[in-house]
């Protein structure tokens, strides 16, 4: 069973330091048994980052009327991205952004700056948590997971102005998200772009390794990766500048990529 002290040591050996701002994707199962569970990992991150640091996690709720989801409520809509993100979302020090599909929760000095005024029509646009983290010189930590869950690469698609982002991941969901306002009324927001398939995102790992731009280590039992968001985005954008369909998969049953490839022709 892993203690808070062991997790802190592992995070530091991977390269996380005081004052860092980091976006974290996590598999608790991959880490193994933690004494105190998810709350202990939160404490370990806060201790390593210190008072000047911040960590954020995706708390996506995918509140599209077309998929049957209830309207988004920042205080109550659960994250669909695993136990750790849900525990962070409910943490008393956490702040959560207002996007009804792709929200982010953050703890630390820059939590307000990262999460406030998230553009309700653009999940990863200029007024989004990930965009701000990127511009702040932030890092990406893949803790027991791979690039297939990295929302930052969807930001790279937006930065590269990929020609397919107007197409939904699943057309049956429609192009609007909905949220419940404080007065109880429901408001819909038409989306500008749609994050889609991530099936090919692991192709970035050897490219980053070849440039010495990613640290690899163990957090508990979990193989983990730490990199600068700027390096990750630059790597993905470079691929898409050579081939604007580079981040799309070849599966004919994918709900997004066949139509997106057509948009690239």
H, E, C per residue of the chain: CECHHHHHHHHHHHCCCCCCEEEEEECHHHHCCECCCHHHHHHHHHHHHCCCCEEEEECCCCCCHHHCCCCECCCCCCCCCCHHHHHHHCCCCCEECCCCCCCEEEEECCHHHHHCCCCCCCCCCCCCHHHHHHHCCCEEEEECCCHHHCHHHHHHHHHCCCCCCCCCCCHHHCCEEEEECCCCCEEEEECCCCCCCCCCHHHHHHHHHHCCCEEEEEECCEEEEEEEHHHHHHHHHHHHHHCCCCCCCCCCCCCCHHHHHHHHC
Q: pLDDT tens digit string along 140-195?
A: 999 999 999 999 999 999 999 999 999 988 888 999 999 999 899 999 999 999 99
* Over residues 85-93, mean pLDDT: 97
Q: What is the pLDDT of residues 15-64, one digit of tens each?
A: 999 999 999 999 999 999 999 999 999 999 999 999 999 999 999 999 99
Residue 157 pLDDT: 97
Task: Report the half-sphere exposure of 200 (CA within 13 A, side-chain side).
Answer: 17
What local confidence, expressed as pLDDT, does residue 40 receive?
Answer: 98
pTM score, whole prediction: 0.95
Question: For all residues of the chain together, what is the average pLDDT?
Answer: 96
**Token representation of residue 18:** 């005081």
Q: Which pLDDT belongs to residue 74? A: 93
pLDDT digits (tens, 9 = 90+) for 98-114: 999 999 999 999 999 99
User: pLDDT class for 91, splitting at 50, 70, 90?
Assistant: very high
CA distances from 69 to 65, 76, 101, 124, 180 (A): 6, 13, 10, 21, 12
Q: How confident is the model at residue 115 (pLDDT cuts 50, 70, 90)?
A: very high
Mean pLDDT of 238-264: 95
Spell out the residues 6+ positions from residue 180 whose beta carbon is closer than 8 angstroms to its own. 71, 72, 73, 186
Q: What is the pLDDT of residue 171?
A: 85
Give residue 79's pLDDT: 97
What is residue 170's predicted lDDT score, i.e. its pLDDT? 87
Is the pLDDT reported for residue 83 higher than 90? yes
């Amino acid at each position: 069973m892993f203690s808070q002290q062991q997790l802190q040591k592992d995070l530091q050996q991977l390269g996380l330091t005081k004052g860092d701002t980091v976006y974290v994707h996590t598999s608790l199962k991959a880490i193994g048994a933690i004494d105190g569970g998810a709350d202990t990992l939160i404490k370990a991150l806060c201790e390593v980052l210190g008072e000047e640091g911040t960590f954020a996690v995706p708390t996506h709720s995918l509140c599209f009327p077309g998929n049957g989801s209830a309207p988004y409520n920042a205080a109550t809509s659960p994250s669909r991205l695993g136990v750790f993100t849900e525990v962070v979302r409910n943490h008393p020090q956490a702040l959560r952004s207002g996007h009804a599909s792709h929200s982010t929760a953050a703890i630390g000095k820059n939590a307000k700056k990262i999460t406030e005024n998230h553009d309700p029509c653009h999940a990863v646009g200029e007024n989004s948590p990930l965009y701000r983290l990127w511009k702040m010189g932030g890092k990406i930590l893949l803790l027991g997971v791979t690039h297939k869950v990295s929302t930052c690469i969807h930001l790279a698609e937006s930065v590269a102005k990929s020609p397919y982002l107007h197409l939904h991941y699943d057309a049956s969901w429609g192009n609007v998200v909905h949220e419940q306002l404080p007065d109880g009324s429901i408001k819909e927001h038409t989306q500008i772009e749609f994050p889609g398939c991530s099936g090919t995102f692991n192709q970035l790992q050897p490219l980053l390794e070849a440039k010495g731009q990613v640290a690899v280590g163990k957090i508990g039992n979990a193989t983990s990766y730490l990199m600068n968001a700027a390096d990750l985005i630059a790597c993905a954008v470079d691929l898409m500048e050579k081939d604007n369909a580079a981040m799309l998969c070849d599966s004919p049953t994918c709900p997004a990529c066949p139509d997106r490839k057509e948009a690239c022709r």
